[in-house]
Amino acid sequence: MFQACTPVEHACFTYYPEAPDTSTIVYFDPACTDLAFTYKWSFGDGTPDSTILGQAQPIGHKFSSPGTYTVVLNAVRKDGVSIRKGKTEVSEKVVVH
């Protein structure tokens, strides 16, 4: 008997540096997101959303004003289904000095 296990799917990301300022490019890395093909980023600062297709890779963003921004990642599988077993969408508050 062959039994396939479905991997747990979830969206997550890390960012660096941890204490950016307005002269710094902040890199957001979705490498911990399982099974996604499309990564849609919203940086919470009024700039257009960014979409990356394919393998997880860091994306850089520069915030023009100091403040607290809610950065959102929405991950979608290759078949077009949002990753729902865990978190489809995750957010993190980023404080820019």
Taking only the tens place, the pLDDT of each residue in 35-84 is: 788 899 999 999 999 999 988 889 999 999 999 999 999 888 888 777 65
What's the DSSP call for residue 97?
A: -
The answer to whether residue 4 sits within a structural domain is: no
Pairing of strands 59-62, 25-29: antiparallel
Pairing of strands 14-16, 25-29: antiparallel
pLDDT of residue 89: 67
Total domain count, the chain: 1
Kindly report the backbone phi and psi dihedral angles of residue 41, in degrees, each rounded to the nearest multiple of 5, phi listed first.
-110, 135
The structure's pTM equals 0.82
Q: What range does the domain containing 50 cover?
A: 14-96
- Which CATH number characterizes residue 39's domain? 2.60.40.10
